[in-house]
C-alpha cells in the first residue's frame, strides 16, 4: 500500500479514505467506546498527516450550520470538510 500525505491526495482519494474510516460497521461502537479504549489494543495509523497550524476565523452562525450539515451528509467532520473546501479553492486559484 502506497503511503501518501492526505494533503497530497486527490479529492476523490480523500473522500474514499474518509468513508473507509468513518463508515465502517463498527464506527458507532468505537465512538461510544463500546469496543474499548485500552491503548495496548490500538494500531499505529498508516495515515501520514502534515502538521496543521491552529487558527481561528469568524464564520456567521447560519453558514457554519450549513457547512456542518453538508459535511455530515458527505460523511466528514465539519472542520475536515472546511479544510478540503479551502484546499480545493486554493488549488483552483493557483492553477488558473
- Asked if residue 10 belongs to a domain, the reply is yes
Residue 5 forms beta bridges with which residues? 48
The model's pLDDT over 8-66, given as tens digits with 9 standing for 90+, comes to 777 777 777 766 666 666 667 766 777 777 776 666 666 666 778 889 999 999 999 99
* pLDDT of amino acid 15: 74
- Asked if residue 89 belongs to a domain, the reply is yes
Residue span of the structural domain in which 83 resides: 6-95
- Asked if residue 46 belongs to a domain, the reply is yes
* pLDDT of amino acid 35: 73
Helix (H, G, I), strand (E, B) or coil at 5: strand
**Domain count of the chain?**
1
The pTM assigned to this predicted structure is: 0.51
* pLDDT of amino acid 8: 72
- How far apart, in Å, are the Cα atoms of 11 and each of 34, 62, 76, 83? 32, 26, 13, 11
Report the distance separating Cα 13 and Cα 27, nearest Å: 20
* pLDDT of amino acid 75: 83
* pLDDT of amino acid 34: 76
Residue 48 forms beta bridges with which residues? 5
- Asked if residue 1 belongs to a domain, the reply is no
Helix (H, G, I), strand (E, B) or coil at 37: coil
DSSP line for 25-50: TTHHHHHTTTT---GGG------B--
- Asked if residue 60 belongs to a domain, the reply is yes
Handedness of CA 87, 89, 92, 93 (dihedral sign): negative
Amino acid at each position: 500500500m502506497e503511503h501518501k500525505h492526505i494533503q497530497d491526495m486527490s479529492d476523490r482519494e480523500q473522500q474514499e479514505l474518509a468513508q473507509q474510516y468513518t463508515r465502517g460497521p463498527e464506527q458507532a461502537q468505537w465512538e461510544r467506546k463500546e469496543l474499548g479504549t485500552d491503548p495496548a489494543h490500538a494500531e499505529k495509523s498508516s495515515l501520514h498527516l502534515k502538521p496543521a497550524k491552529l487558527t481561528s476565523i469568524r464564520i456567521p452562525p447560519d453558514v457554519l450550520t450549513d457547512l456542518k450539515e453538508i459535511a455530515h451528509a458527505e460523511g466528514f467532520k465539519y472542520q475536515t470538510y472546511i479544510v478540503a473546501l479551502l484546499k480545493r479553492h486554493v488549488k483552483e486559484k493557483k492553477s488558473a
